[in-house]
Structure formats: C-alpha cells, structure tokens
Structure 1
Amino acid sequence: MSRSKEEKRNRILQAAISVFARKGFFHAKISEIAQEAGVADGTIYLYFKNKDHLLISIFEEKMEMIIGRMRASLVGAGDPVEKLRRFMLTYAELVIEDPELSHVFQVELRQSGTFMKHYKPVKLQEFLNILAEIVREGQQAGRFKPEIAPGVVKRAVFGALDEIALNWILKERRYDLRESARQLGEMFVDGLGIGTPVTA
C-alpha cells in the first residue's frame, strides 16, 4: 500500500473512532464516517467491507499499539509486584489518554454481533498473556501463590479493569480512574499472597 493510501486508510479509521464514539456503532453511518474523514462515501469501501470490518480493524490496529505501550511500561520493573502495579496504572492511563477510543473499546465493540460471535481476538489474548507472564514470574520468584492459575488471574484482572473503565466512561469521567486502578492493583497484590522474595 502506498504512503498516501495508508494515510487515507488511517484517516478513515480515526474518523470511524470519532463517529462511533459520538453516535454509537448502530447509529453511525458510513456517510458520516466519510464526511469526518474528508473522503467520498465510496472510498470507505475501497479499504473496508462494512462497519463491522471497520470496527474490527480499529480493534486490531489499536491493540497493537496498546500492547507495545504496555510492554514498554514494564521495562525496568524487575520485581513482578511492581510490574503488576504498573500494568494496572498503565491500563488506566491508556483509557484516560484517548476517551474516544476507550468508548469504542468499552462500549461499541459489544454492539457488534460479528465481533462478539465470530471474531477471534488474537491481539486481546496477546495482551492478556502479558498478565499471565507477570504472574508466572512472580510464582517463580516466590512472590505469588504457586497454586493460583495464571490464566485465572489474567482474566480476573482484566475483567476488573474492564469494569472500572466502563463505569468511568459511562459516568462521564467523574472520578479518578488512576486511583481506582491503584486500589485494584493493591487488592490483587494482596490476594496473590506476596511473600518474602526467594534468595539463592
């Protein structure tokens, strides 16, 4: 894809995020997305099959960015406890930094039957596996309870973060999401059973 086509595609994706966040996935029209992007209606279909394809493309491409940001935030945090805390805070910061994208992820993705029923979110699993890696590292270091399955923890942590983020969005950002994420992090740190680090 040429640079100009890639730029136009990215402009359409960003326009779709804005329109989906403002109008809702069901009520958004391709013509409105085209107008927001400054392109003809038919141009949208040169890049995307339909609204569902647009929504899935937003998810895949933005998740790539989110995964990169999350991994970068953990660099330098040698202790798995600190990594878990950083994961929580970074998640909250990502939500706060881009409210429109957060609205699309937290609210509008759930409105797409295609996404919910048929799409296999490989990128989401990659994101969740960062949590599983932190838990395994903590177990190997003797910081987290060894009997707790990393797969259970990653889903529990993500479910809790997802809930507070959704509530923050629906309540129009009326409270400190970072503080909520910090408190949630401490709950999971305590629940995983932090002990004295194992020494060689």
Structure 2
Amino acid sequence: MKSPDKHRKIIRAATKVFAKKGFFNARISDIAKEAKVADGTIYLYFNNKADILLSVFEQEIGKLIDQVAGLLEKETDPQEKLRIFITNHLEEMKKNRYLAEVIHIELRQTSKLIREYRKNTFNEYLAIIAQIIKEGQDSGVFRQEFHPHVMRQIIFGSLDEISRCWHVGSDCSLTTDEMSGQMTALFQSGLLVQSV
C-alpha cells in the first residue's frame, strides 16, 4: 500500500537531488539514496524520472498557488495584492533553497516535458500576477499601456533571480522583508498611474 508520507519524502529528496545535480545528471538511485528507500520503491510511486520532476512542480507550485490565493482572497487593493504575492514568493523560496534552484534551472530547459508543464500548473501561478495587474488597470490604479502577460514575466523573472541570492553564495545581506519592500516599491512605482 502506498504511503502519502513516503511520497512526500521522495518528492523532498528529488527536489534536493535535482537542485544539486540537475535533472539530466540525477539518477533514480540518487533520489532513492537521499530518500532512504530502495530504488524499486521509487517505481511504486512514479513511472520514471520525468514523472518525478513533474510531480515536484505540481506539488510545490500547487502549494504556492493555494497559499497565495488564500492570502489574496480578502484583499481588494491591487497594490497590496502585488506586495503580498512578492513577499510570499520570496519567503517560500528562502525557506526552500532546493525548490528555488529547481525552479530556476529546470523551468528554463527546452525539453518538451518542461514546455508542456509550463503551459499548465506553472501558468496558473503566473496568471495570479497577470490578474493582479489587470485588476489594478481596471480600477485605474495601474497604467494601461503595460500588458499583464508581459508584466507577469518581468515580475516573475525578477523574483526568480532574486530568490536565489540567499542560496548561491552571494553577499546578499537583505532580509526577506527588505528585499520584498524594494521589489514592491520598484514595480509599483513603474506601474502606478502618474498624477498630473
């Protein structure tokens, strides 16, 4: 019988292995060793290595979607929504350095596997940013000339790069709040309708 705990344990182990070795260099045996399970146990839960990578994204990005959706649910101010999204993403990436690395590296791969994935759950996550921008434009707070889909790529790209600064040996000494404050201020100042 499959165990939800063991499934989570394998996902955590795979995230760490993919972050350290990359998807193409990682082996099922590496994941099994990190998870402290037999190689064969992996195949009780996953079809292959690609299935594991997609499960990492589905599970972890799914958690981010649920979490930020809950935080945004009662907020109506688009500026505050943008701050919440930025802060939540940075906090979660700071907590999970391996996930930050996997997102940064693997989502940039050109394999069909990743291209197909990007069209699905990951797109749902990015759509939250686009929705915030659109709400701000509809309410007259954010400038109309910026396309929400372009802005979501710019904002996520910046978040993705910044989220690695705590993990790759840089001399970044800013706290999550400081980093979030600077990013939020930068994007809001560019997006806000200028008073005449």
TM range (shorter): 0.7 to 0.9
1:189 alignment partner AA: Q
Determine which of 81, 84, 102 is the counterpart of 2:82. Answer: 84
SS at match of 1:143: coil
What is the Cα deviation at residue 177 of structure 1?
5.5
Q: Which moved more, 1:164-173 or 1:40-49?
A: 164-173
Contact 1:145 1:194 in 2 (8 A): yes
What is the Cα deviation at residue 17 of structure 1?
1.5
Distance 1:104 1:172, change over 3 A: farther
Matched, 1:163 2:146: no
1:136 corresponding residue in structure 2: 134
Determine which of 128, 144, 147 is the counterpart of 1:146. Answer: 144
What is the Cα deviation at residue 108 of structure 1?
4.3
What is the Cα deviation at residue 171 of structure 1?
3.0
1:59 alignment partner AA: F
Contact 2:94 2:166 in 1 (8 A): no
Determine which of 120, 123, 126 is the counterpart of 1:122. Answer: 120
SS at match of 1:148: coil
1:185 alignment partner AA: T
Determine which of 54, 62, 65 is the counterpart of 1:64. Answer: 62
Contact 1:143 1:195 in 2 (8 A): no
SS at match of 1:104: helix
The RMSD of aligned alpha carbons is 2.4
1:25 alignment partner AA: F
What is the Cα deviation at residue 167 of structure 1?
4.0
1:50 corresponding residue in structure 2: 48
Q: Which moved more, 1:31-40 or 1:94-103?
A: 31-40
Q: Distance in 2 between matches of 1:139 and 1:113?
A: 35
2:187 alignment partner AA: F
1:193 corresponding residue in structure 2: 192
What is the Cα deviation at residue 95 of structure 1?
0.5
Q: Is there any run of 5+ residues in structure 1 with no aligned partner, and where? A: none
Q: Distance in 2 between matches of 1:111 and 1:167?
A: 21
Matched, 1:180 2:179: yes
Contact 1:165 1:177 in 2 (8 A): no
- TM superposition score normalised by structure 2: 0.85
Distance 1:120 1:154, change over 3 A: closer
**Cα deviation digits, residues 65-101 of structure 1 (max 9, x gap):** 0101111222333211111111111111011111122
Q: Percent identity at matched positions?
A: 39
Q: Distance in 2 between matches of 1:45 and 1:17?
A: 17
**Cα deviation digits, residues 120-153 of structure 1 (max 9, x gap):** 4411111111111111211121111123221121
1:28 alignment partner AA: A
**Cα deviation digits, residues 162-187 of structure 1 (max 9, x gap):** 12223443235743252233212111
1:34 corresponding residue in structure 2: 32
1:184 alignment partner AA: M
Q: Distance in 1 between matches of 2:109 and 2:147?
A: 31
Q: Is there any run of 5+ residues in structure 2 with no aligned partner, and where? A: none
